[in-house]
Amino acid sequence: MNSSNPITNPSFRKLFTAQIIALVGTGLSTVGLSLLAYNLAGENAGAVLGIALACKMIAYVFFAPIVGGLVHRFARKPFLISLDVIRAFLVLLMPFVSELWHIYLLIFLLNLFSAGFKPVFQAVIPDILEDDVMYGKALSYSRLAYDLENLLSPTFAALALLFFSYSGLFVGNSVAFVISAAIIVVTTIPAPKPVQRTGSIWNEVSYGIVAYFKTPRLRSLLVLYFAVACASAMIIVNTIIYVKEYLGGSDSELAIFFAASGFGSMLAALSFPKLSSIFSDKLIVQSGAIFLAAGLGLMATEPMFSFALFCWFITGVGWSLVQTPSGKIVNMSADPSDRSSYFSAQFALSHLCWLITYPITGQLVLYFGFGFSAAFLACIVLICFIFSILLWPTEDENILNHQHKTLVHSHAHGHDDQHHIHQHGSDLEQESHKHEHQHQEVVHKHKFVIDLHHQEWPKG
């Protein structure tokens, strides 16, 4: 097997397996939740799902930055295991739901713990795979894992629904979380890089968000994530309405529609390593917005079954082209010691987009119909595409010329970078240590990220 293949790394191989199992289980619950909402609310199921998924996004948006800012204070492995176990217990309660507010509460709690799990999991991967080529391929595999949720889960769900009620789908999800936890138990997870920054709890919690917004390419990426949120929310919230009310389809046909978008997404993710060797990440994510707009525009015609599946497929291609390179873009924008903060910021801010779009898309279709809603969202996606072009700087490299003012401060540091070359006459030369030291005024260039020593993006 090729040495540049991340699957050859035992720790990544185990974590990737755990990710696939947990995500396929989550996909079963996605189908089960749609059917549960339709059972309780009928033709209003889209609006109910919009509110339920908004509860999910609230948990993501508010809890992920807290975890990202503080996770360096405790061991990551026990943290990930405990969150899997808690999620396994919570999802088992879904079959007992009898009121709409039960759905909203359980969705919020379940995703409160997912908001802690996912960004920490993402930040572990570049610590395991420090080679850029292997990490790029790992991102493609990770995106494939999410696509397997959209492709395999509906397929398994369609088969399971031939023998069980939708309650069995939630039980399958619970079992998947337990298996994921067991795999993480036997996986070696490296200790995080030492964090230099210090400050109050609020400073640590807000650090990732502040640094994210100071980075031009990440602001542009966030605009494209809003485009993804518009398109994916339309599919996740309103596929049940389109299949049941517009096409008069069955539960199994609902699963086929989810599988169509998942297949498009998986195909794009499989193509990413080849595409990234030809095109820049910037061009790939911006082209994804074009696919999203095309998919939504075609949906606006309210097509029949076969062509509708093609629309779902095209939309899946689009959201994968935006999301697959995003981890690489976030990673190149962060100091290794700050990865958890940056990934948590990306996680929270991108899901803030879904927090906005989930309830809106549910209400749009309820009051204005499917065709108008799809056309309206296609226009929003095109506006996001234009703004991403205007906001993303022309530079694609990370090595920038910049100036430092004279600075005296104290923080934990080593002597292995351009900012801490000074003598002690002791055994502290290579170890991380803390003392007051001075940085002279200097103009130089190196890989530039927003961190403790670089608080503002260079002008020009």
355-370 tens-digit pLDDT: 888 888 888 988 898 8
- The C-alpha atoms of residue 341 and residue 285 are separated, in whole angstroms, by 22
- pLDDT given at position 227: 96
Q: Is the pLDDT of residue 336 over 60?
A: yes
Which long-range CB contacts under 8 A does 455-458 form with residues at least 24 apart?
A: 455/214, 456/214, 457/214, 457/215, 457/216, 458/400, 458/401, 458/402, 458/403
Amino acid occupying residue 142: S
Q: State what percent of residues in the chain have pLDDT above 70.
A: 72
- pLDDT given at position 416: 56
- pLDDT given at position 138: 77
Buried residues in 304-331 as b, exposed as e (16+ CB within 10 A): eeeebbebbbbbbbbbbbbbbbbbbbbb
Per-residue pLDDT averaged across 194-201, rounded? Answer: 55
Cβ neighbours of 367 (radius 10 Å): 10
The answer to whether 264 and 312 are in contact (CB under 8 A) is: yes
- pLDDT given at position 280: 86
Amino acid occupying residue 455: Q
Helix (H) / strand (E) element for 409: namely strand 407-413
Per-residue pLDDT averaged across 226-230, rounded? Answer: 95
The answer to whether 335 and 449 are in contact (CB under 8 A) is: yes
How sure is the predictor about 112, in pLDDT bands with cuts at 50, 70 and 90?
Answer: confident
pLDDT tens per residue across span 424-435: 555 555 555 555
| pLDDT, mean over the chain | 77
pTM of whole model > 0.85?
no
- pLDDT given at position 108: 84
Cβ neighbours of 273 (radius 10 Å): 16
- pLDDT given at position 413: 47
Beta bridge partners of 271: none
Q: State what percent of residues in the chain have pLDDT above 90.
A: 14
Q: Is the pLDDT of residue 202 over 70?
A: no
Decide: helix, strand or coil at residue 239.
helix
pLDDT tens per residue across span 28-83: 777 777 777 777 777 677 677 777 777 877 877 777 677 666 665 667 788 889 88
- The C-alpha atoms of residue 326 and residue 320 are separated, in whole angstroms, by 10
- pLDDT given at position 224: 95
- pLDDT given at position 401: 56
Residue 400 phi/psi, 5-degree rounding, is: -125, 145
Per-residue pLDDT averaged across 362-382, rounded? Answer: 91
- The C-alpha atoms of residue 67 and residue 61 are separated, in whole angstroms, by 11
- pLDDT given at position 1: 42
CA dihedral over 450, 334, 384, 284, signed as positive or negative: positive
* Greatest CA separation for the chain: 79
* Most confident of the ranges 245-254, 258-267, 306-315: 306-315
CA 262 to chain CA centroid, nearest Å = 16
Q: Is the pLDDT of residue 86 over 60?
A: yes
Matching CATH number, 9-391, of 1.20.1250.20, 3.40.50.1370, 1.10.1330.10, 3.10.290.20: 1.20.1250.20
Q: Is the pLDDT of residue 254 over 70?
A: yes
Spans of all domains in the chain: 9-391
Per-residue pLDDT averaged across 145-163, rounded? Answer: 64
Weakest mean pLDDT among 44-48, 257-261, 375-379: 44-48
Task: Report in angstroms the alpha-carbon separations of 372 from 61, 248, 254, 300, 435.
Answer: 29, 20, 21, 6, 62
pLDDT tens per residue across span 401-431: 555 565 555 545 455 555 555 555 555 555 5
Tokens at 184, concatenated? 């993480």
